[in-house]
Amino acid sequence: MDANVNAGVCAAFAERWETHSVTETEAVGAEIAASLHGGQVVALFGGMGVGKTAFVRGLAKGLNLDAEVSSPTFALVHDYGGNPPLVHFDMYRISGWDDLDTTGFFDYLDAGAILAVEWSENIENALPPDALRLRISAPDPNIRIIERF
């Protein structure tokens, strides 16, 4: 039997990418989108302006969603629809379980949405064990490293 069959999302794509433009970062998101399933959390780590939203824009494209993707800075959550729906969170100002609960995070998770989470640092304890954890870093103004960890 193929050893990768049961590895699910783990074996479906690379572990590390280097991108040289927003478009390339979006393309990585689009590539990963094909491997996602409902109830999955894509946990994005990495500081201000590192490219988390660009990556989520790519996820939406990869899921064939015609959505205007932007950081949910004030709304905290954007639901882009789809089947399963892609739901985008900004946890920058979230601290504690009550706070997190008010975003609808657990309800969307229970409902089987795909959850893309910016600032996952702030909700790390609430991430499901099978969350896809990706760290984005910017070693240069136009270069981004996206790594699974």
Ligand X SMILES: Nc1ncnc2c1ncn2[C@@H]1O[C@H](COP(=O)(O)OP(=O)(O)OP(=O)(O)O)[C@@H](O)[C@H]1O
User: Which residues bind to ligand X, rule: CB under 6 A?
Assistant: 19-22, 24-25, 48-54, 71, 118, 142-144
Minimum distance of ligand X from residue 73's CB (angstroms): 7
Minimum distance of ligand X from residue 116's CB (angstroms): 11
Which of ligand X, Mg ion, none binds 111 (CB below 5-8 Å, type-dependent)? none
Minimum distance of ligand X from residue 12's CB (angstroms): 22
Type and span of the H or E element at 60? helix 52-62
Q: Does 78 bind Mg ion (CB under 5 A)?
A: no
Name residues contacting Mg ion, limited to 39-68 (CB under 5 A).
52-53
The CA-based dihedral angle spanning residues 97, 103, 105, 110, taken in that order and rounded to the nearest 10 degrees? 110
Q: Does 35 bind Mg ion (CB under 5 A)?
A: no
Residues in the chain: 149
Per the listing, tokens 């689009």 go with: 30
Provide the binding-site residues for Mg ion, judged by CB under 5 A. 52-53, 71, 118
